[in-house]
Chains A and B, each alone.
Chain A
Amino acid sequence: MTTPSATADQRPQAPAGRARPTGPRALLDAVGGQNLILLLALAAVLALFGSLNLNYLSWNNIQVIAEAATIAGLLAVVQTVVIICGGLDISVGSQAGLASVVSAMVFTSTGSSALLGMGAAVLVGAAVGLLNGAVIIYGRVNPTIATLAGLAAYKGVAQLISDGRAQGYVLGDPLFVFLSRGRIAGLPTMVWILLLIAAAVHVLLTYTDIGRNIYALGGNDTAARLAGINLNKYLLSVYALTGMVAAVAGVLLTARTGSGQPTSGSEGLELQAITAAALGGCALKGGKGGIGGTLLAVALLGALQNGLTVQGINTFWQNVAQGLLLVAAVVIQQRRGRERAVGLPA
């Protein structure tokens, strides 16, 4: 700032051209700095635990990691969209739990119709998501608070309708069995579902005008409104989508455990989802982030968790590690974004 004339005026004066960087620079641009760091971290984690335990890198264990990460991964994918919008949904875990119970109970009460069970779960997910969106938009409630309320309330509803117990037994049904143990081209069905939904959301965000508008409203809501974007419509839709994908995660939870689970298996998923999104490069202020980074972060978290378990490290320590990771991810982000510290002069 001390050499005024040597700033913006001295920047490249060529009109915006089509110049393309080449060599390693091009690779970095294509992958993205944040993603490169994640890849390196993932490689480091794999190398570390792989050297400590030879079975860690076996194809079997890698599939175990992938399966275990699927449910949190689905939630992380939609959390990414919510965070890009400038919102936050900490009720995703409770939504998944509610959907899990609903899928199993409808399955049982309709005489073992897996499709009806799953359909009902997704419908309930959409309704709950719309409710979140409506409270945030029309009640003008801060998204964190609104979904914190949802975190408690949806868990409560799941416990009420299930009486707090696991519901039904679904693994007599071929469709549920296929979801939980099936394979397509050597990969578990669950992992395919994650990849499919992640790919669909990625296409939505990157290649459609809907995605552009989502980035726009998260990046600068005033500017988005003045550019003619209907903010309410988009926010409602995003929260509804979140509810539906959380319901898919709930159905997978039912399939994995064999019955509808009001809380077990879904509690704490919101933390994993938000951590993955933040590690993956989503700016918590909105407007920035992508599915690629989130998936890498999901893989990193999954590999880390599995490695710690394989090494016999106490799950209490795993919780501590997860909390530290979330803080570290956000601190790195703030530094990179040159966020002005609170209370310090410019």
Chain B
Amino acid sequence: MTAPESPPGAGPSPQPALGLAAENVGKTFGSVRALHGVTVAFPPGQVTALMGENGAGKSTLLRILSGDHRPTEGEVLLDGVPLDLSSPTDARRAGIRIIPQEPEIIPHVSVAENVYAGSLPRRAGRRLDRAELRRRITADLAALGFDQVLDPDLLGSELTAAQRQLVEIMRAITGTVPPRAIAFDEPTSSLSENEVEALFALIGRLRDQGIAIVYVSHRMKEIFRLADRIAVLRDGTLTGVLPAAETDERELVRLMVGRDLAGLFVRQDVATDRVVLDVRGLTTDDVHDVSLQVRAGEVVALAGLIGAGRSELALALAGDAPVRSGEILLGGRAVRLRSPKDAIRAGLGLAPEERKAQALFLHRSIRDNTSLVSLDRLRRRRFVKRTAEKQLAQEYADRLRVRAPSIETEVRTLSGGNQQKVVLARWLARRPELLILDEPTRGVDIGAKAEIYQIIADLARDGVAVLVISSELPEVLGLADRILVMQNGRVTGELGRAEASEEVVLALAMTDDLATGPRTTDTDATTGVAR
């Protein structure tokens, strides 16, 4: 393994660097490489921002730094000394703290007990020392300036999102081992403006105490306010470490997304004028006033960041989430989809985001997994026609080039890409008019990716309307005839193939963060689909 490209002003220095560092760290999950030889330093007394697209490897890197994952290769160093981190406890003892995006709060105990969970003060006989607990929490709250915002007697379940975050921060800072490095994983996603200010002030103080700060975020504004240095990951590789003062948004976006996958995509123009799916003003608990159309033979992509409401929209279209208002027309007819069964009957298929949790039956065969939604066409008086079923499963396993010893192989033994192909085979065998593919290439190696792109192109050529949800911008740009960008449950823009670029899509996906006010008004104009 050679060190990755080392941009000026960064890279490993000859003498042992102070602070936290990852040295040549790689991580493989099954056949998927999440990180490749990442070398990056987090010096003390500085805020190092960590940026990258969804799936670029930020979370994996954080988990390795926090001892939650063991790296497949490379080392984590503290002050130049390699650490042997085999559990989060080891990392804690070394002074490394992570503030997770979703704070883990014990619901039925007080703030004080939540903060010191695992090292509660106790008296003889292991009884809880309430007086000492009270003294400690009061002192710590005052020292951190949280005494006005956090009542130590509140129960975990009574806390607001911001207060939960504060509890996590207190956990990180208090304790017997003083913190040496603290990582924040998108801490502001659930905070209000005032709370963000308070958090930034706190981070500033921690930095001034000489603690190394790792700050993961998508939000450019915050990063330029807070960060001293910015490290960018893409596809598990470090693409640059830049001093914040010497870079700008354009350069960061280029480092985050600029890659060439164009060769993998099949360019064709087979979209027809026949509208298959027509959604008008759809509102559910998670998406608001969404209108869109997908035509036969057309591939429409839904772009956006995680949490933008794309998967929720897909589930609503698949009949798995109640519709509050608006209507869904399939082939020109208004349909009421009260259950996934209704949606399947109406000619709609969804290959959901989490294939293992939401689609696959891991202990069943490829044949069983493939035929499941087509059983109503494969049975005679409720008896499954075995021969027909085998033919169907074999046909689609062959067509999608599922690599397995036989169609009787249990799906759990397959690689991620082949599992995804089994999910696709299930829906292709059903022959839906509209197929929604939610993150069809997540966790899939590059070869299988190319094959899945070909499958999507073939579907479109057969006249299927395809709606693809993807967080990978090159994929969105390469596949789609038309791109809809979502944020916070709303469509914030629509782009044709010609006008779309990674920068434009990313800008629309982060509209609220880059600019507030005027943007939200002119997005309304773009939600209406051109007729």
Q: Enumerate chain A interface residues (CB-CB to B < 8 A).
A: 1-2, 4, 7-9, 11-20, 207-210, 212-213, 215-216, 219-220, 222-223, 225-230, 283, 287-288, 345-346
Contact pick for A227, options B363, B373, B404, CB 8 Å: B373
B30 is an interface residue with CB less than 8 A from chain A:
yes
Which of B361, B386, B417 is within 8 Å of A216, CB to CB?
A: B361
For the complex, give the distance between the alpha carbons of A9 and B446 in Å: 11
A212 touches B384 (CB 8 A): yes
Chain A proximity mask over B370-381: 1 for CB below 8 Å, otherwise 0: 011101101100
Chain B hits for A19, CB < 8 A? 405-406
Can you name 13 A-B residue pairings with CB atoms under 8 Å? A4-B31, A4-B33, A7-B31, A12-B403, A13-B403, A15-B404, A16-B397, A19-B405, A208-B382, A209-B378, A212-B375, A220-B357, A226-B320
Q: Are A223's CB and B360's CB within 8 A?
A: yes
- Which of B's residues lie within 8 Å of A, judged by CB? 28, 30-31, 33, 68-70, 72, 86-88, 318, 320, 339-341, 343-345, 350, 352, 357-364, 366, 368, 371-373, 375-376, 378-379, 382-384, 386, 394, 397-398, 401-407, 409, 414-418, 426, 445
Q: How far is the CA of A2 from the CA of B27 in the complex (A)?
A: 9
CB distance from A195 to the nearest CB of B (A): 21
Task: Quote the shortest CB–CB distance from A270 to chain B (angstroms).
Answer: 25
**In the bound complex, how far is the Cα of B375 from the Cα of A212, in angstroms?**
9
Known A8-B30, A208-B382, A209-B382: A230·B339 in contact at CB below 8 Å: yes
Given contacts A13-B403, A16-B403, contact A8 B31 (CB under 8 A): yes
Chain A hits for B359, CB < 8 A: 220, 223, 226
Point out the residues of chain B lying under 8 angstroms from A229, CB to CB. Answer: 341
Tell me the smallest distance from the CB of B519 to a CB of chain A, in Å: 35
* Minimum CB–CB distance for B401 against chain A, Å: 5
Closest to A287 in B: B363
Contact at A16–B320, with CB atoms within 8 Å? no
The interface residues of chain A lying within 8 Å CB-to-CB of B368 are 212, 215-216
Asked if residues B403 and A15 are in contact (CB atoms below 8 Å), the reply is yes
Task: Identify A345's interface contact among B87, B339, B382, B383, CB under 8 A.
Answer: B87
Q: Does A228 lie within 8 Å of B397, measured CB to CB?
A: no
Shortest distance between the CB of A256 and any CB in chain B (Å): 34
What 5 pairs across the A-B complex have the smallest Cβ distances? A8-B415, A8-B31, A4-B28, A228-B341, A209-B375
Bound-state Cα–Cα, A230 to B344, Å: 12
**A225-B320 in contact given A13-B403, A209-B376, A220-B357 (Cβ < 8 Å):** yes
Task: Please name all residues of chain A whose beta carbon is closer than 8 Å to the beta carbon of B69 when the two chains form the complex.
Answer: 346
Partner of B340, one of A13, A215, A227: A227
Q: Are A18 and B361 in contact (CB under 8 A)?
A: no
B405 touches A12 (CB 8 A): yes
Chain A contacts for B343, CB-based, 8 A: 228
Q: Across the interface, which residues of B come within 8 angstroms of A216, CB to CB?
A: 361, 364, 368, 372
